Amino acid sequence: MGAKFMKKFYLTTAIDYANGSPHLGHAYEKVLSDVIVRHRRLLGVDTHFLTGLDEHGQKVQQGARAQGMEPQERCDLIAEEFIVLLDKLRISHDDYLRTTQDRHKRVVRSLLQQLYDRGEIYQAEYSGYYSSRAEQFLQEKDKVDGKWPEIFGEVVEVTESNYFFKLGQYQEWLIEFLLENDDFIQPEFRRNQVLEFLKEPINDLCISRPRERLEWGIPLPFDESYVTYVWFDALVNYVSAAGFGDEGFDSLWPADVHVIGKDILAPPHSVYWPIMLKACELPLPKSILVHGWWMISGAKMSKSTGESVDPLELIDLRGADAFRYFVMREMTVGQDADFSLERFDSRYHADLGNDLGNLLSRILNMTARYCDGKVPEATIAEKPESDLANLWDEAHVGARQLFDEYKFNLGLEKIFVFIRGINRYVEERSPWKLAKSEAVEDRAKLETSLAFIVEALRLGVALLAPVMPGVNDQVNKLLGIAATTLWEDDLVWDHRLAGNSLGPKTILFPRD
RNA sequence: GCCAGGGUAGCUCAGUUGGUUAGAGCAACGGAAUCAUAAUCCGUGGGUCGUCGGUUCGAGUCCGACCCUUGGUACCA
């Protein structure tokens, strides 16, 4: 009835925790998400891309205090750092949600109130071992040789009243849902881990902290002496950013993809979140895409070992597109991957510099030398030309299929098989030899070969657009056309560049 | 312990429902070429497909056991 909102393809990343500077893992998740969204846009899909920052909680409060700042002040600084990273990475997000924004707090409180009114939330005593030095409750597993380690200082048994969300009653429903929707969690083996996790009974979820213990949070609407804790704050960002309660909500929610790391799959995104939505009578997201971790020499990255890689340095050194290419080319989505500067340089030099960048250099140069910088007409079509065209068909059909399946590493490999194929074609025709000939037919071959090389390069770069938007833009400018916007139009081999004046000789990926 | 991923050329990885001499890129080596960022192209070498056993006419591909490695086992992307 009437004007209905068109449902957009709505993708979210996990929101980053405002407790430290961005590192490789943060950068990777953003790039992966951005590539998926750009891919959809190139397919003509209307998209909405959300990312953001999780600003509440004890660690943030403590971190601020340690630096003699107000929590909000420190969050503002960290938000700035993350936003700089997003810009540098050419992330094309539509919205940036910070959990301290009113639009978010309002929705969190509204959902909590609804659930409270419906009896989904109750108050109960919680007792456990509390370390005042660490300002947290400890688990049995924190014990060493049956005793609390020194670092926790004095540990006392404390009984505290808190609010709980009735999670447990939905366990059977959730298991059934996951069994029926086998593509809800991708890759599939991650779903199996969740089902395994759900074999044990799950407890109700403690969703509050008394304010005397944690001030930096969103107060419960039905009891202002508590703030809500972690997941009822953080997870809700996906619906609060979509404008829950507003007109446009249905045009975004349910989300199509939540992109997250494997560490926050079970239980937060695979258990708490679906159950929270179910209890709120909201539709569930279509899918959760779970990526792996970057390892450094096989070891997990962490700030504590000082081994973390600063993505900003790499971007400054090699450029955003090179960084994006590297992480998408090396990581099988869902698995872990190893990071090393040697591998980064190898990809940078071999794939980007030698195969792609050098190809651009030579075609720009040859066109300038042999054809006054104007793209000539293709007038003949012999075996080398049909071989190249066939290779293109194979490459783009294959790459598009692989991109659809989130197999970006394999898709990129396919594209570079094509790029290398163009170089092979260049050798086969050897325009520099043809240019020395006076024969009319050699002139035709020369012009045809340059036309084919330019066209093939245009297509290759169009296919790389989701991963390397900057290079796409730059190369297209040099070819005298606008950046690739729609694959349906731009992946067609049609020699549209004939007559265009090419730009000046350009080094895309300089050697040191 | 339990669960899951991985274990294929020096390195990073592909290998569809089991089928002829196991593939790619990088690295190494030899050659061609000179338009180009000393880039490109052609060719060569290199693997008992973690181990043992089983099913089968036939297994990297299925089954079992074991070994190594990474991760999860309630709150670090």
Query: ipTM score of the complex?
Result: 0.91
**The predicted structure's pLDDT at residue A380:** 96
Q: Find the DSSP H helices in A298-439.
A: 311-318, 320-330, 341-347, 358-371, 383-404, 408-429, 431-434
- Give the CA-trace dihedral at A79, A84, A89, A90, to 10 degrees: 100
Between the alpha carbon of residue A33 and those of residues A50, A285, A312, the distances in Å are 9, 16, 18
> Is A454:A375 a contact under the CB 8 Å cutoff?
yes
Give the closest residue to A310 by CA, choosing from A21, A18, A17: A21
The two tokens of residue A221 are 């609407």
Report yes or no: A282 and A239 within 8 Å, Cβ to Cβ: yes
Q: Which nt has its C1' nearest the CA of A428?
A: B41
- Looking at the DSSP bridge assignments, the partners of residue A368 are none
pLDDT (0 to 100) of residue A146: 64
Q: pLDDT at position A304, please?
A: 42
pLDDT at A286: 94
Pairing of strands A294-296, A219-220: unpaired
Instruction: Tell me which residue of A341, A375, A350 sits closest to A446, measured CA to CA.
Output: A375
Looking at residue A502, what is its pLDDT? Answer: 98
Q: Give dist(CA A428, CA A437) in Å, integer.
A: 16
Instruction: Tell me the whole-structure pTM to 2 decimals.
Output: 0.94
Rounded distance in angstroms from the CA atom of residue A402 to the C1' atom of nucleotide B19? 26
Rounded Cα gap, residues A389 and A392, in angstroms: 5
Q: Which helix (H) or strand (E) holds A86?
A: helix A71-88
Output the distance from A140 CA to B74 C1' rounded to whole Å.
12
pLDDT in the model for residue A440: 96
Q: List per-residue pLDDT tens for chain A, 512 residues long.
A: 444 568 999 999 999 999 888 888 899 999 999 999 999 999 999 999 999 999 999 889 989 999 999 999 999 999 999 999 999 999 999 999 999 999 999 999 999 999 999 999 999 988 778 777 766 777 666 666 667 777 777 778 888 899 999 998 999 999 889 888 888 998 888 888 888 888 888 888 989 999 988 899 999 999 999 999 888 999 999 999 999 999 999 999 999 999 999 888 888 999 999 999 999 999 999 999 999 888 875 455 544 444 456 778 889 999 999 999 999 999 888 888 888 888 899 999 999 999 999 999 999 999 999 999 999 999 999 999 999 999 999 999 999 999 998 999 999 999 999 999 999 999 999 999 999 999 999 999 999 999 999 999 999 999 999 999 999 999 999 999 999 999 999 999 999 999 999 999 999 999 87
Contact A355, A423 (CB under 8 A): yes
CA of A501 to C1' of B11 (A): 43
* Residues 6+ away with beta carbon under 8 Å from A308: A23, A24, A301, A302
Instruction: Give the model's pLDDT for residue A432.
Output: 98
> Do A314 and A323 form a contact (C-beta atoms < 8 A)?
yes
Q: Which nucleotides of B are covered by protein (CB under 7 A)?
A: 3-6, 11-15, 24-27, 33-42, 69-77
Per DSSP, helices labelled H in A262-372 are 273-279, 311-318, 320-330, 341-347, 358-371
* Angle at which helices A71-88 and A24-42 cross, to 10°: 50
A29 close to A14: Cβ distance less than 8 angstroms = yes
Q: Are A186 and A287 spatial neighbours (Cβ–Cβ below 8 Å)? A: yes
Nearest nucleotide to A361, CA against C1' atoms: B36
CA of A360 to C1' of B15 (A): 33
Tell me the CA–C1' distance in angstroms for A468 and B33: 31
What pLDDT, on a 0 to 100 scale, did the predictor assign at position A2?
41
- How high is the pLDDT of residue A194? 87
